[in-house]
Chain A
């Protein structure tokens, strides 16, 4: 039985970001991280499948269209030009996710919806995040099997 479609999508996004070895974060790509990020794992990128909206596609209800939000967060802690560092992470993430993404047996295209930057001076070095939101639309059977993208 296939994994939940959100897990499949999150895994595919994470794999694409890891494979790209983005210069700004290297291999520090963490799916669904819940613990604070410290100096050992910064800068980094976090991947979450945050929400999903479903629509029934057929009268018998056997097929659904799932619009899934993927949130990719870049975190950094640097003394100088924090905004530039966050923008660079955002650029690299957008470049990687701009292309076709294989999820299961199908290829989909993420739509970039926007981003938000937050910067703080609470710690010994300025730190902040850039959160990028993408959306993927996948078509599934009731059994969660992807039947189209």
Chain B
């Protein structure tokens, strides 16, 4: 069900939200950035460890996001794909650029 509330009410950068720069024009957008530790099973005897960067933001902030650049905390990421959650928000799956 789409949210009717103001998106900005959920994106206080003094709390859990993060400011990022989106796309070729470096448009400032807000979202919730997570960069959790994960181990990936790669078919070998041991997994490979790393991070899983994800940026959760309103879909309206990031039109046609796939392949575009997202700068978070000074780090460059490529948006690999978008996972809309059905509420008007989406998880952007990131890869280090």
Q: Footprint of B on A, CB under 8 Å?
A: 33-39, 42, 46, 48, 71, 73, 75, 77, 79, 116-129, 131
Contact = CB atoms under 8 A, between A and B. Distances in A.
Interface string B38-68: 1111111111111111000000000000000
B95 to A, nearest CB: 6
B94 interface: yes
A37 B49 contact: yes
Chain B residues touching A, range: 20 to 34
Interface of B: 35, 38-53, 77, 80, 94-97
Contacts, number: 81
Contacts of A121: 80, 95
Listed residue (B42, B50, B53) with the most chain A CB atoms within 10 angstroms of its CB: B42
B96 A79 contact: yes
Contacts of B80: 121
